Amino acid sequence: MSEDIKKIMFTVRKAPHGTIYVYEGLEVKLIMAAYDADISVVFMDDGVLALKQGQNTDELGIKGFEKTYGVFVDYEIENVFVDRQSMEDRGMTADDLLVIGEDEETEAPIKPKVVDSKEIAAMMAEQHNIMAF
Amino acid sequence: MKLAVCIYEGPYNHEASDSAYHFIKAVIDKGHEIRGIFFYHDGVYNVTKLMEPPQDDRHIANRWSELGATGIDIVVCIAAAKRRGIVDDVLVDNVRISGLGQLTMMAIEADRMVTFGD
Amino acid sequence: MKMLHTINKSPFQNSALESCMRFVASGDIILLLEDGVYAAMSGSSKSSVIEEAVKGGTEVFALSADLKARALTSLIDGVQITDYAGFVDLVEKHKIHSWL
C-alpha cells in the first residue's frame, strides 16, 4: 500500500500568554513537523495576536515563544497563514507580524502569509485532519 | 471509520471530558474503531487515581480506565503530564504516558480526529 | 469534503460562532454542543446568527443532551436536534473542525 502524505492543519485561535494553549500547541507543531505529514498552521481570531512581533515575557517570568516561531521555516513549517479579517479586527497589519524564518538564498525574512477566510475555508476542506491548537 | 479523540480540559471543571466520553460510547455502539484517545493540556488530570468524587457522582478516571480495559489505546501526553505533576504512579490502570509522536500517529492514521476542549 | 463545524461556546460570551460563520462554505454544517447550544435559542439577542445560517441553507444541529440539561425547549425554526449517535454520523460524513 502506498503511503500518501496526509495533510494536517493546525488552527490557532487563542491569544498568547493568558492561557497555556498557544504555548503547548506550539510543542505539538514542532514534534509533528518531524513526521511525514503535510503541515499547515492557520492563525485566526485571537490567535493572530500570538504573531505580534516584539513580545517580551521577561517580567512574567515565562519562556515566551517568539523565538521559536522564528525558526518555523527551519523546522520545515512553511505553510503558515493569517486570517486577514481577524488581523484587521484587532488593528494589526502585515507589518506587525513576527518573522518565521529567512530565505535560504537571499536571507530575506519570511513572514506568515495573509489570506482571506474563503481561502482558509477552501484549505480546510482539503485536510485529512484539522487540529485546534 | 477509524476515529481518534483529543481531550484538552480537566475533569469536572469543564464539560469536555463528559462530551468526549458520551461521543466515544456512541462511536463504539455504532461499530466504528477508536484509533486512540489522547489527553493534552489540563486533560491529563482526567486519569489520575487520586480523584475521589462523591459516591453519587460519576467517577471520571474510572470511566476512562474501563474504556482502556476494552483495548482502546488511551495516551496521556508526557510533557503536559510532567508539567502538572502527573506521573505513571498516579495513573489509573489501562492508560499510558507517552509522547506527542503518539498524537501525530493518531492524526495521520485516524480518518477523523475529534477534539473536545475549551 | 464538506466540513462539520462544532461550536461549544455561548454566543453571549464568546465570538466563536460568529467567526466560524465566515468560514462556513456551501454545504458545510454546524453542530452546537455544550454551551454552544445557547445559540439555538429563539428570541434572544444572538438568535439572528443561527437564523441567518438556516435561511442561507446551512444545516444546523444542536445536541439534545446539552439542550435538555439547560432547559432549552424553544429553538430557532429549522435547527435540528441530534444525539451523540447522530453526532457520530455527522462526523462520518464530514471533516471536522472544533471551534474551541
Query: Residue for cell digits 486512540?
Result: B36
Question: What residues make up the domain containing A106?
Answer: 6-132
According to DSSP, the β-strands at C80-82 and C29-32 are unpaired
Answering whether pTM is above 0.80, one says yes
Task: Give the best residue of B3, B40, B109 to mutate against chain A (max A CB count within 10 A).
Answer: B40
Q: Answer whether residue A93 shows pLDDT above 70.
A: yes
Using alpha carbons only, give the angle A71, A54, A52 rounded to the nearest 5 degrees. 75
pLDDT value at residue A4: 85
pLDDT value at residue A3: 62
Interchain proximity C98–B16, CB inside 8 Å:
no
CATH fit for domain B2-116, picks 3.20.20.70, 3.65.10.10, 3.40.50.150, 3.40.1260.10: 3.40.1260.10
Q: Which stretches of chain B score pLDDT less than 50?
A: none
Residue C80 β-bridge partners? C61
**Which three cell numbers, joined as nine digits, stand for C74?**
424553544
pLDDT value at residue C6: 98
What distance in Å separates the CA atoms of residue A17 and residue A63, rounded to the nearest whole number?
A: 10
Interchain proximity B107–A37, CB inside 8 Å:
yes
Q: What is the pLDDT of residues A16-67, one digit of tens each?
A: 999 999 999 999 999 999 999 999 999 999 999 999 999 999 999 999 999 9
Q: Where are the domains of chain C?
A: 3-99
Place A2 in a pLDDT band, splitting at 50, 70 and 90.
Answer: very low
Interchain proximity C24–A121, CB inside 8 Å:
yes
Interchain proximity A132–C99, CB inside 8 Å:
yes
- Angle between helical axes of B60-69 and B16-29 (0-180°, round to 10): 30
Q: Residue A104 belongs to a domain with what CATH number? A: 3.40.1260.10
The CA distance from B3 to the nearest CA of chain A, in Å, is 11
* C19, closest residue in chain A (CA to CA): A45
What distance in Å separates the CA atoms of residue A62 and residue A28, rounded to the nearest whole number?
A: 19
Of C35, C88, C92, the CB nearest to B23: C88
Burial of A20 (0-12, 13-18, 19+ CB in 10 A): middle
pLDDT value at residue A1: 42
**C-beta atoms surrounding A86 within 10 Å:** 22
What distance in Å separates the CA atoms of residue C32 and residue B103, rounded to the nearest whole number?
A: 26
Count how many residues are written for chain B.
118
Q: In sequence order, which residues have a C-beta less than 8 Å from that of residue A62 and are 6 or more positions away?
A: A17
Number of domains in chain A: 1
Q: Which stretches of chain C score pLDDT less than 50?
A: none
Of A45, A122, A127, the CB nearest to C19: A45
The residue-averaged pLDDT of A97-108 equals 96
A1 part of a folded domain: no
Q: Where are the domains of chain B?
A: 2-116
The residue-averaged pLDDT of A82-106 equals 97
pLDDT value at residue A76: 95
Q: Which fold has domain C3-99?
A: Hypothetical Protein Ychn; Chain: A, (3.40.1260)
